[in-house]
């Protein structure tokens, strides 16, 4: 990879700040959101509405990426596999971002493109921002619809209900909504994004502050999960999906690569049991590819792992061991 194509993630002397300005279009079942609490969740009035239509869209979601992993899990939990197809970019890329290098001929078999970047440029020829996953792409036009990852999973639940499988979980229970929103906000700012704030810190001071925030939140989660099987009680919700994709990457990547090394996930009994419980639940573990996860972080992040060496461990077999959470 030439130096001008190497992506960079750290800025010397600066704290990491995630750009959350995504393509805000929505795929809705009607003219407005089916979620009665949409306004409270931060709905935007300036977005284009696309219709729910089986077969019209392809979810492009790299298994390596935690934000994309969320959408793969929710698609599976809700039984939408035959309604929304999926494209799976490989784990390594340059500044131009995600490629379909693991598909035959290096081309997505449905979209017919080599890089997800092409779908962005088909919609926005001068798209100035990062090419991110997950992304919903319209199959016919091969143009990106949205890459706004929190809304993608939200809308898979609320807008595609007509096509959910029998017995699909209630990922957004109304009676828990207010508390769940607060839990998810803390998980995102302090844990999902907190590991990146540690890993991409540009100074000792910003790293130290990020590290303290992360472990304060991890200890809060360890305590919360001492008395409940899942984050919101006795059933899986969207909050669990959002936390899981960070936890499943923790020991393999974030502990060492991102310097989140106070202790391993396996050394936190409640979080470790909880994470294995989810991993062994249909819809979770089968979306996890540790080989791709490690390849992405250790190869792509050249500014924090310049050798590109991928560690051999840890052994993924530990995820299949008994978790003992059934009685909580």
Tell me which residue of 60, 62, 8 sits closest to 289, measured CA to CA.
Answer: 62
Q: Which two tokens stand for residue 1?
A: 């990879």
Beta-carbon count within 10 A of 215 CB? 17
Can you tell me the distance from the alpha carbon of 266 to that of 256, in angstroms, rounded to the nearest whole number? 14
Give the helix/strand (H/E) hosting 137.
strand 135-138
From the candidates 65, 254, 260, 298, which is the catalytic residue?
Answer: 65
Q: Is beta strand 135-138 parallel, antiparallel or unpaired with respect to 57-60?
A: antiparallel
Q: What are phi and psi of 51, to 5 degrees?
A: -85, 145
Can you tell me the distance from the alpha carbon of 313 to that of 306, in angstroms, rounded to the nearest whole number? 19
Residue 151 marked ligand-binding: no
207 in active site: no
Q: What are phi and psi of 128, to 5 degrees?
A: -95, -5
- Dihedral of CA atoms 120, 87, 159, 165 in degrees, nearest 10, equals 180
The single residue listed with the structure tokens 């090394």 is: 261
The single residue listed with the structure tokens 């800025």 is: 11
Collapsing DSSP to helix, strand or coil, 134 comes out as coil
From the candidates 57, 120, 196, 297, which is the catalytic residue?
Answer: 196
Can you tell me the distance from the alpha carbon of 295 to that of 270, in angstroms, rounded to the nearest whole number? 28
- Bridge partners (DSSP) of residue 230 are 233
65 in active site: yes
The single residue listed with the structure tokens 């919903």 is: 136
Q: Is beta strand 143-146 parallel, antiparallel or unpaired with respect to 135-138?
A: antiparallel
Rounded-to-5 percentages of helix, strand, coil across the chain: 40, 10, 50
Tell me which residue of 267, 269, 256, 252 sits closest to 317, measured CA to CA.
Answer: 252
Residues that constitute the known binding site: 98
Residues that constitute the known binding site for glutathione: 98
The catalytic residues are: 65, 196
């Amino acid at each position: 990879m030439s130096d001008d194509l190497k992506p960079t993630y750290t800025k010397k002397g600066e704290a990491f700040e995630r750009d959350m300005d995504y393509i805000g279009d929505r795929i809705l079942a009607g003219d407005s959101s089916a979620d009665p609490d949409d306004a409270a969740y931060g709905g935007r009035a300036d977005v284009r509405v696309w219709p729910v239509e089986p077969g019209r869209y392809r979810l492009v979601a790299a298994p390596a990426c935690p934000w994309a992993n969320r959408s793969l899990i929710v698609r599976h939990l809700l039984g939408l596999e035959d309604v929304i197809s999926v494209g799976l970019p490989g784990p390594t890329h340059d500044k131009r971002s995600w490629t379909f290098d693991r598909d035959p001929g290096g081309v997505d078999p449905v979209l017919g493109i080599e890089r997800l970047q092409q779908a962005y440029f088909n919609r926005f020829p001068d798209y100035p921002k990062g090419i991110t996953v997950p992304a919903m792409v319209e199959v016919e036009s091969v143009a990106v619809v949205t890459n706004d990852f929190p809304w993608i999973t939200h809308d898979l639940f609320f807008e595609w209900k007509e096509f959910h499988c029998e017995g699909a979980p209630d990922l957004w229970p109304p009676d828990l909504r207010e508390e769940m929103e607060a839990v998810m906000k803390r998980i995102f700012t302090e844990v999902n994004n907190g590991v990146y704030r540690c890993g991409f810190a540009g100074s000792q001071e910003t790293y130290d502050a990020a590290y303290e925030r992360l472990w304060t939140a991890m200890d809060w989660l360890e305590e919360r999960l001492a008395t409940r099987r899942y984050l919101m009680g006795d059933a899986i919700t969207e909050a669990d999906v959002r936390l899981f994709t960070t936890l499943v990457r923790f020991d393999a990547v974030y502990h060492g690569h991102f310097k989140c090394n106070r202790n391993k996930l396996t050394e936190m009994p409640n979080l470790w049991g909880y994470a294995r419980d989810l991993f062994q639940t249909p819809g979770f573990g089968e979306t996890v590819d540790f080989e791709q996860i490690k390849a992405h972080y250790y190869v792509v992040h050249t500014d924090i792992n310049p050798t590109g060496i991928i560690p051999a461990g840890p052994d993924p077999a530990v995820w299949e061991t008994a978790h003992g959470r059934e009685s909580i």
